[in-house]
Amino acid sequence: MSIKFDGKNAKQGGRTIANFIDGKNLRDGSSRGGKVLGNVIDGKNVRDGSSRGGRVMCNIIDGKNIRDGSSRGGKTLIKIQDAARAIGSSSQGPSTALVWWYLAR
């Protein structure tokens, strides 16, 4: 079954598997108290955990591609528009990269 992301909740079928309620952290489940999977606090880097100091998993520095690591020269993993399509979203920003990295890759 595919994942659908509406900007706040990532659902698989009728079940909420993660949420992005605060606009910074992707949390497991439907609760604000769920475990933080990753964050996009700076708007360009997808980081592990809830802090600015977390390891950079991927980035969208150029706004078109999701790249491995923190470098503009990192390997292109997927185009942001293709990632949006994969998670059933029309958004093509940092939240798309975050949800794609943790739930659809």
Which amino acid, one-letter code, is at 46?
Answer: V
User: Quick one: pLDDT at residue 1?
Assistant: 59
What's the whole-number mean pLDDT along residues 18-31?
A: 96
How far apart, in Å, are the Cα atoms of 102 and each of 15, 28, 98?
16, 10, 6
Per-residue pLDDT at 73 exceeds 90: yes
pLDDT class for 48, splitting at 50, 70, 90?
A: very high
Average pLDDT rounded to a whole number, residues 33-54: 96
Q: Is residue 90 scored above 70 in pLDDT?
A: yes
SS3 13: coil
Q: How far apart are CA 97 and CA 69, in angstroms?
A: 12
> How confident is the model at residue 27, as a pLDDT?
98
Q: What is the pTM of this model?
A: 0.94
Exposed e or buried b per residue across 62-89, where buried means at least 16 C-beta atoms within 10 angstroms of its C-beta = eeebbbeebeeebeebbebeebbebbeb
Strand partners, 25: 39
State the pLDDT at residue 50: 95
Helices (H) and strands (E) in the chain, counts: 2, 9
pLDDT at 63: 93
